Structure 1
Amino acid sequence: MNRPARLNGILPYQQIKALIEHQAIRSEVPFEDRQIQPASLDLRLGRKAYRLISSFLPELSEITSRLNVLDFYQSDLVMYEMDLTGGAILEKGHVYLVPLLESLKLPKDLRAKANPKSTTGRLDVFTRVVTDLTAGFDEIRPGYHGPLYLEVVPRSFAIKVRTGDSLNQIRFVRGQPAVSDAALRKLHNAEPLLYHNRPAAKPVSSRDLRTDRGLFLRIDLKGADRGDDTIIGYRAKKNSHVIDLSKIGYYAALDFWEPIRRHRQDSLLLEPEEFYILASKERIRVPPGYAAEMMAYEAACGELRTHYAGFFDPGFGYGRGELRGTQVVLEVRPHDVPFLIHDGQTFFKVVYDRMLEFPTQVYGSVLGSSYQRQGLTLSKHFKS
C-alpha cells in the first residue's frame, strides 16, 4: 500500500516514529507505543498542574516566567500548584495549565496543530495547546523549539487525571495539504466518502454531495426510527460525581447523562450553555491516503459549538476498505440564546487533507481504536 511521498501533507505513523527517533519530538520519559496513531501523536500530562485565575496567551513572554514565581499570592495568573503523579481532581469550570511530558524541536518546514481526543471532547473537557511566544492556541508554528502546555477546562464534570494521561493529540503538517472540492468529488466517485446511515450501506450520490472547502454533513434527530422511544442524543446532568479517566467501561450513563428521545416534529431546542451529545445523519469514510478534520458549519454565527474533538485518522470508517462509513458523534454547546435545530439540518463540515504517504497503521487496526463502529456513543468510560 506504500506510495511515493508527497511534498505537502500530514505526516503518517511511520514518519512520526522517525521524528521521535531524530529527537524532533522529545519527552522526559520514554514514549509509549499507544501514543502513536495513524496521523497523530497523543500527548501526555506532566507531573504538575497549575490552577489559573484565567486563560491567557504568552505572546510577549515565555510561559515558565509566568509559572515560576516564589509566592503565588503575588502572581497575576497562578492560584496554586497541584501534583498529578498520584492523581488529582480538576474541578469543573476552573482553568488549569499542565506542562506536557513532550516537547518539540521541529524542522523549519514542519508545523503542527493540536486537537482534543474524542474521549476528551465527549466528556465536555475543553483543552487547548499553548506554546511559548504565541498569539494563538493549538497552532504550532514551523520550526518551533520548546515545551508544550495544555490548558484544561472541565465544563460538565469534575475529572480525575494523572501524569501520563492523554487528553489531546497533535498532527504534523508540511505545506498545504487541503484537498480541493473538485478533488473531493473525484475521490468520492472512486471511493465513496459519505454513506447514508439509513438505509445503511448506500453511498450519498454525487449530485447530493455538498462541498465548499470540505464536505457538509447533517444532524440526525430521528435515530433508529422506533418512534418516540428512540434515543437521539444525551444532555449532561448538572450535578454528578467525579469521572476518573483511568476507569474504562465503569460508570452508569444515567448517573451523568439525561437521554433525549425523538420529538414528533423531529426537532430539538438546545438550551444555552447546556452540553449535548448528538450524531450525524451520514457516515463518513477516510481512505488511508487522507486525514480529515471536523469544522463548524458557520463559525461566524456564534450561536453554538458543534464539536470539541475534530481529527479523523486515515482508515476511520474505512478500515482497509471493508467498512461503509461511521457516524460522526458531535459535542454540542449552544451560546447566548436557545437554538432550535431540525433533523437533516446542515450542521458541520469535514475537511480532508492529503497524507505525505500511506500510514503503515490505519485507524481500527491494532492501535486500540475505540470508535471505529460507533453510532450515538458516549465516551469509553461509560458502560455499554
Structure 2
Amino acid sequence: MTTRARQSGILPYQQIRQLMARGAITAALPIEDRQVQPASLDLRLGAKAYRLLASFLPEQTEITSRLNVLDFYQSDLVMYEMDLTEGAILEKGHVYLVPLLERLNLPPTLRARANPKSTTGRLDIFTRVVTDLNTGYDEIRAGYRGPLYLEVVPRSFTIKVKTGQSLNQIRFVQGRVTMSDAQLLQQHRADPLVYHNLASATPLGPRELRLDRGLFLRIDLKGVERDDQPIIGYRAKKNSHVIDLSKVGHYRAVDFWEPIKRRKEGSLLLEPEEFYILASKERVRVPPGYAAEMVAYEAACGELRTHYAGFFDPGFGYGGKGEVLGTQVVLEVRPHDVPFLIHDGQTFFKVVYDRMLNAPSHVYGMALGSSYQRQTLTLSKHFKV
C-alpha cells in the first residue's frame, strides 16, 4: 500500500482497538469484543431514552442542558424519559433521543461518521447520531470530545429496545479517503468489484461500469429467472405487533411483510411513504484494503430514498482471500410525496469506495458473526428463514 494510503484512510479493526486503549473511545460499560468490526465500531444504547416533541440540532447549546430539566412540562423539547435497562417500547412514528454508552476524545487529525447498522435499516428504524454544538447529523468533527446521542424514529414497526443493544455504527476517518473514478476502474480491472448476479458470477466489463464520483448500480425486479414467480421485494405492513430486537430468527415474515412477486412487465409502482425491501441487479465486492458506503441518491433519481444503512466493511462480498464472488446489496426504499414507477435494471443507487489506513486484521464474514455475507433478498435477522 502506498505512503499516501497509510497517511489517509479509514481506521481498521486493530487501530480501533488502539484508540480504545489510548482512551480516545471510552464507555460507561466495558466495550465488548462483538462491537469492533473490520472498519467500524458498533455503538450501544444507554440507560435512558427521552421522548421528544420534535427532532433538533444542538448548534448553540450542549445537549445535556436540554435534557436535564426539572419539569418536562416546561420543556420545549422533551415530553418524558424512559428507563431502558429492563427494556422499553419505542412507538412507531415517535422521536426518541438516547444517550449512548460510548463517548469520544478524538485527536485533532481524526474525524468520524456514523450510519445505521444493516439490521436497523431493514426494520425501517431511522437513526442518526447527534453531538454537542454541531450543525449536522452523523458527521463528527475532528478532535471532538464529548458524549454521543442517537436519535431514533421507528417508521414502520413499534420496537422493543434495551440498554446495550446496537442500532448504529461509527467509522473513524483520517485525511481524504475516497477513491476516484479512475482508481475504481483500475481496481476493478485488477480485482473485480462488481459481478452480474448470475450463476456464472461474471464480472462487469469495464465499459459496463457507470462511474460518476462513485459506482452506480441497478435495481433487480426480475429475481432468479428459473423461478416461475419469484419474490422480488417486500413491503412493510401498516399494522403489526411489536418487534423485540433481542429476538433473532423469531418472527414470521408474513406477519410483518407483504411479499412482492415479479410482474411480467418488470416494473413496480412504489406508493408514497410505504417502506420496501428490494435488491440490487449486481453483486458487490469490497477487498480487504477498502471500505465502501452507499450514498444519498435522492435528487438525481426522484422523490424517494433508496437506502438507510450504508456501510460495507472490508471483505463484504469478498472474504479474506477473494473467495466470495460478490454479494447482492439489499435496499431500503421509501418514496416521498408522489407514486414512483421503477423498472428492472434502472439505475438506482451509488456506492463509493474508501481506502483503509491499513488492511484490517479481521474482515467481514462468519468469523466475526457477520449476518449478511452471502445474502440475496434478505430481511433482517429477526425473521425466520
What per-residue deviation string (whole Å, max 9, x for no partner) do you get for residues 304-354 of structure 1?
000000000000000021010000000000000000000000000100000
Q: CA deviation at 1:366?
A: 1.5
Name the residue aligned to 2:304.
304
Name the residue aligned to 1:138.
138
Q: Distance in 2 between matches of 1:293 and 1:50?
A: 30
Q: Distance in 1 between matches of 2:363 and 2:269?
A: 38
What per-residue deviation string (whole Å, max 9, x for no partner) do you get for residues 275-314 of structure 1?
0000000000000000000023343565000000000000
Q: Which of 195-204 and 61-70 deviates more?
A: 195-204
Give the fraction of aligned pairs with identical amino acids, expressed as a percent.
Answer: 78
Q: CA deviation at 1:225?
A: 1.7
Task: Tell me the TM-score normalised to structure 1 length.
Answer: 0.98
Name the residue aligned to 1:22.
22
Indicate the SS of the match to 1:366: helix
Q: Distance in 2 between matches of 1:150 and 1:295?
A: 20
Q: Is the 8 A contact 1:227 1:262 kept in 2?
A: no
Q: Is the 8 A contact 1:279 1:327 kept in 2?
A: yes
Indicate the SS of the match to 1:163: coil
Name the residue aligned to 1:196.
196
Question: Is 2:334 the partner of 1:323?
Answer: no
Q: Distance in 2 between matches of 1:300 and 1:46?
A: 38
Q: Distance in 1 between matches of 2:133 and 2:228?
A: 53
Name the residue aligned to 1:219.
219
Indicate the SS of the match to 1:132: coil
Where do residues 273-292 of structure 1 align in structure 2 (5 Å cutoff)? Answer: 273-292=273-292
Q: Distance in 2 between matches of 1:298 and 1:48?
A: 34
Return closer, same or farther for 1:218/1:77 CA change in 2, 3 Å cut-off.
Answer: same
Name the residue aligned to 2:47.
47
Return closer, same or farther for 1:298/1:157 CA change in 2, 3 Å cut-off.
Answer: closer
Where do residues 31-46 of structure 1 align in structure 2 (5 Å cutoff)? Answer: 31-46=31-46
Name the residue aligned to 1:267.
267
Question: Is 2:377 the partner of 1:376?
Answer: yes
Name the residue aligned to 1:347.
348
Name the residue aligned to 1:79.
79
Q: Distance in 2 between matches of 1:322 and 1:160?
A: 38
Indicate the SS of the match to 2:37: coil
Q: CA deviation at 1:188?
A: 0.1
Which amino acid is the alignment partner of residue 18 of structure 1?
Answer: Q
Q: Distance in 1 between matches of 2:180 and 2:186?
A: 10
Q: Distance in 2 between matches of 1:203 and 1:227?
A: 23
Which amino acid is the alignment partner of residue 151 of structure 2?
Answer: E
What per-residue deviation string (whole Å, max 9, x for no partner) do you get for residues 210-233 of structure 1?
101111100000001246621000
Q: Distance in 1 between matches of 2:72 and 2:12?
A: 42
**Coordinate RMSD, CA, aligned:** 1.2
Task: Tell me the TM-score normalised to structure 2 length.
Answer: 0.98
Indicate the SS of the match to 1:119: helix
Name the residue aligned to 2:314.
314
Task: Give aligned pairs, total.
Answer: 383
Where do residues 229-244 of structure 1 align in structure 2 (5 Å cutoff)? Answer: 229-244=229-244
Q: Which of 349-358 and 290-299 deviates more?
A: 290-299
Q: Distance in 2 between matches of 1:173 and 1:243?
A: 34
Q: Distance in 1 between matches of 2:133 and 2:8?
A: 26
Name the residue aligned to 1:159.
159
Q: Is the 8 A contact 1:297 1:346 kept in 2?
A: no
Which amino acid is the alignment partner of residue 179 of structure 1?
Answer: M
Q: Is the 8 A contact 2:298 2:305 kept in 1?
A: no
Q: Is the 8 A contact 2:55 2:95 kept in 1?
A: yes
Name the residue aligned to 1:255.
255
What per-residue deviation string (whole Å, max 9, x for no partner) do you get for residues 231-276 of structure 1?
0000000000000000000000000000000011000000000000
Q: Structure 1 stretches of 5 or more lacking a match?
A: none
Q: Distance in 2 between matches of 1:280 and 1:48?
A: 37
Q: Is the 8 A contact 2:298 2:306 kept in 1?
A: no
Question: Is 2:356 the partner of 1:361?
Answer: no
Q: Is the 8 A contact 1:296 1:347 kept in 2?
A: no
What per-residue deviation string (whole Å, max 9, x for no partner) do you get for residues 64-93 of structure 1?
000000000000000000000000000000
What per-residue deviation string (whole Å, max 9, x for no partner) do you get for residues 1-50 of structure 1?
x9876111000000000000000001011010000000000000000000
Q: Distance in 2 between matches of 1:242 and 1:39?
A: 32
Which amino acid is the alignment partner of residue 122 of structure 1?
Answer: R
Indicate the SS of the match to 1:185: helix
